[in-house]
A and B are shown apart, each in its own frame.
Chain A
Amino acid sequence: MASYRIYIIIWGALLVLTGVTWGVSYINLGMGNVAVALLIASVKASLVALFFMHLRYESKLVWAFALFPLFFLALIIGGTLSDTLFR
Chain B
Amino acid sequence: MTETNHSTTEHHAPGMEAAKLGIWTFLATEVLLFGGLFTAYTVFRIRYPELFHAEHLKLNRVLGLVNTGILITSSLTMALGIAAIRQGKQKLLQRCLLLTILLAGCFLGVKYLEYSEKFHHGLRPGTNLFFALYFMMTGLHGLHVIGGMAVLAAMLIMARQGRFSEDYHTPVEISGLYWHFVDLVWIYLFPLLYLTG
Hey, which bits of chain A sit against chain B, CB under 8 A? 3-4, 7-8, 10-11, 14-15, 18-19, 21-22, 25, 33-34, 37-38, 40-41, 44-45, 48-49, 51-54, 57-62, 65-66, 68-70, 72-73, 76-77, 80-81, 84-85
User: What total of A-B pairs shows CB separation below 8 Å?
Assistant: 134
Asked if B79 contacts A41 (CB within 8 A), the reply is no
Hey, which bits of chain B sit against chain A, CB under 8 A? 3, 6-10, 17, 20-21, 24-25, 27-28, 31-32, 35-36, 38-39, 42-43, 46-47, 61, 65, 68-69, 72-73, 75-76, 78-80, 83, 86-87, 176-177, 180-181, 183-184, 187-188, 190-192, 194-196
Contacts of B42 in A (CB 8 A): 77, 80-81
The 5 tightest CB contacts between A and B, nearest first, are A69-B28, A37-B191, A25-B195, A65-B24, A69-B31
Contacts of B9 in A (CB 8 A): 3, 54, 57
Q: What CA separation (Å) do A56 and B154 show in the bound complex?
A: 27
Tell me whether A77 and B80 are in contact in the complex, defined as CB-CB below 8 angstroms, given that A21-B191, A59-B6, A68-B28 are known contacts.
no
